[in-house]
Structure formats: C-alpha cells, structure tokens
Amino acid sequence: MRLLVGLGNPGARYARNRHNIGFMAVDAIARRYGCRAYRSRFKGELAEASIGSARVLLFKPQTFMNASGEAVGEAARFFKILPCDVAVIHDEIDLRPGKLRVKRGGGNAGHNGLRSIDAFLGADYWRVRIGVGHPGVKELVQPYVLQNFCHEELTGWVGPLLDAVAETIELLLSDTPDAFMSEVARRFAPPHASITEDIV
C-alpha cells in the first residue's frame, strides 16, 4: 500500500493558490483513476485507487499547510505505511513554473508543510516538487504562494502538467522515479521562466 499526499490549504478561498498545487495534483490523479468521493478521515480527505499493481491512498490533509504532519502521520500510522512508501506532492518556489523534480529524503528547504511532516514521519519519504517560481524577493514569498494561479497559468501549464503527472504516476509508484520524471518531461514542456530561473 502506498500513501500519496497532496499538500495545500483547505477551503474554496485557497483552492487555486500556488501553494495548493499538491491538492490539485492529487485531484487530477483521482479523476484519472475514477476514484470515489473523498471521505473525511485522519484530519484529511482520503480516497482509494488501484494504480497498476499498487493499492494507493490519495490524501489531502485538512489541517492547513503548517500542520500537515498531524494528518499525514495519523494516516500512515493507522495503515502501517512506512515513510519510504509515502510520496508528498508540493509546490516548490526554487523551481521555475512547471518544472518537476522527485527525490527521497533531504531537507525541507523552508517549506512549512514538509517541516511538519518531517516532525511526525521523519524525512525518509518521497517528495514530488512542482515548481511555481519565485517572486524574486524573500519578503514576497508568502503572499506570492497564497495568490491564485491566473487563467493563463491554469490553462497554459498547470492543467497540462497535472494531466501528465496523473498519466504517468504509476512509474513513480513502481519505484522508477527517474522514468517518471523523464516521461512527464516528454509529455510536457515547462514554459520559459517568467519570474526566476531554477535555483536548484
């Protein structure tokens, strides 16, 4: 069993924020695999899918971003899922918009959702980092990630990228992260950087 977590903040007010691209990705995967409606469990919204040979739990914490670990830790403990079988999809300001990177373990790079998960789960889980760009000034990061994607972003790269992620997520769940990244890149080309180039 795998736990696939999308990070974001609950409620309509935040639904199209850059910070909520993890929620958007999990929703795209749920649509792709015809999941039934989410259920409220473990301080979050939970749905189940069969993706390839894997039984996958799709999970959106409803604790607000900074307390995501409370929900993720509770779900992982209940289902006895090891950190290495958890993948977290989240926004990454240090990647240009539409760029995707995957890694297991490592630091949280100042991301409060990851910091919370580290506290409850440890750091040995997979991170699917989706670039949303950087405003260029540290003091503007918080208002920037809490802004909505504009219509041109949603139609131009957010929707197509999330479709590519949903179509190829089986590769990540079958322990071939490099193939997953390569196939997403083959299906989707990020737009030219409009805010900053990649930092990492």
- Which of 19, 90, 111, 134 does the annotation list as catalytic? 19
Helix (H, G, I), strand (E, B) or coil at 173: helix
**Torsion sign over Cα 81, 82, 85, 88:** positive
Return phi, psi of residue 182, to 5°. -65, -40
- Cα 81 to Cα 56: distance, rounded to the nearest angstrom: 11
The answer to whether 134 is a known catalytic residue is no
- Amino acid symbol at 130: I
Q: How far is CA 5 from CA 45, 84, 180, in A?
A: 10, 13, 17
For residue 139, give the DSSP letter.
Answer: G
- Cα 39 to Cα 27: distance, rounded to the nearest angstrom: 13
Catalytic residues: 19
